[in-house]
Amino acid sequence: MNGAILYDTKYGATEQYARWIGEASGLPVFSLAAPEADPERYDFVVLGSPVISQRVLVRAWVALHLAGLLARPVILFTVSGTGVGARLDGWVRDSLPAAFLDHARHFALRGRLEPRKLGLYDRLKLQIGGGADPDGVAARGEIAGFDFMDRAAIGPVVAAARRFARAAAA
């Protein structure tokens, strides 16, 4: 096997994107909790993570597997309500090792937030965070929820994965 999609998710959007990317690329898809989620098993890795509370959820996993990740090509896709830009870039930069970010190809995908499906603690965090957010549009989204899921957005991720697969097969 030359590559795999490994992901973590909190509310399901990252898992949905991982499955869509798997369907489009033919790569196997594994949760980071699965025994197959060992980057050293693969020639390249597509790694998916949500951004929760301004942090990349897979940060501890990346730190634990950093040597293995740096030894092979990596595509990182993050899923959040925040679009591409300095705000998201800062959160990703503050969450992950610089060596990893210099090595991985990052794609930002927009996610989904359904506050009614969250636990009380997470709903309260959103209310507080939304109230304190100087970006009015983002604040309303944090409080009311949003759905930016877009299957077509995986195109660049799938194209990069196919390039890595061709290179691994050569």
**pLDDT digit string, tens, across residues 61-106:** 999 999 999 999 999 999 998 878 888 999 999 999 999 999 999 9
> Is residue 135's pLDDT more than 70?
no
Question: Quick one: tokens of 61?
Answer: 């996993």
Q: What is the pLDDT of residue 76?
A: 98
DSSP E strand boundaries for 24-113: 29-31, 44-52, 55-56, 74-80, 105-110, 112-113
Rounded to two decimals, what is the model's pTM?
Answer: 0.89
